[in-house]
Amino acid sequence: MMHATVARVGLDRLDATWNPFQSQFWAKAKRVASWRAFAFDFSYASDDGSESESTVVMVLVRRLVFRLRIAYVPFGPDPCAYQRDTAEVTRDFARMVRPLLPKGTAFIRFDLPWGAPDDEQVVPVVGKNLRTCKE
């Protein structure tokens, strides 16, 4: 059976190979807008230590009002790093990282790294006021 662990690590452990929003550059860019960056090693390991899956996830934290803070995970954790469902990975990470965040953190927002839908029956949302991004 695999169990999840989270440990705080230095920002130098961030790797932008798969996502520029999980990089030291993005941490520095967001610092200008009063966000504090924290990096966490998030891993699943088997009880006997024979298997493990791991990646480093950046969490940005910002003060709102009074002592309230919000935490934001830009496009992470990387679902490709784990052989699990994205919802399970997100839930496990949120539960484990919560106690490691600054006191007063009210919630964690995730912008999940969704790819193209696997289901061909997904109907695109269209409307007069909606626009698509042209890359």
- Whether 85 is covered by a domain: the verdict is yes
pLDDT of amino acid 69: 96
Q: The CATH number of the domain where 82 resides is what? A: 3.40.630.30
What's residue 88's pLDDT?
Answer: 85
Alpha-carbon distances, residue 99 vs 30, 38, 123 (angstroms): 23, 13, 39
Residue 124's pLDDT is: 63
Number of structural domains the chain divides into = 1
Chain centre distance of CA 76: 3
Tokens of 48: 């006997």
Predicted model pTM: 0.79
Is the separation of the CB atoms in 13 and 39 below 8 Å?
A: yes
Domain range for residue 33?
2-111
**Per the domain annotation, does 116 fall within a domain?**
no
User: What is the torsional sign of CA 48, 87, 41, 20?
Assistant: positive
Three-point CA angle 32, 35, 36, nearest 5°: 115
Query: Within a domain: residue 10?
Result: yes
Does residue 110 contact residue 93 with C-beta atoms inside 8 Å? no
Which strand (E) or helix (H) includes residue 61? strand 52-63
Question: Is position 132 within any domain?
Answer: no
CA distance 86 to 78: 9
pLDDT truncated to tens, each residue of the chain (135 aa)? Answer: 778 899 999 999 998 787 889 999 999 999 999 999 999 999 988 777 777 888 899 999 999 998 999 999 998 887 777 777 888 888 999 999 999 999 999 999 998 766 655 666 666 666 666 566 565
Find tokens 């932008």 and name the residue. 16
pLDDT in tens, 82-110: 777 888 888 999 999 999 999 999 999 99
Chain centroid, CA 30 distance in Å: 15
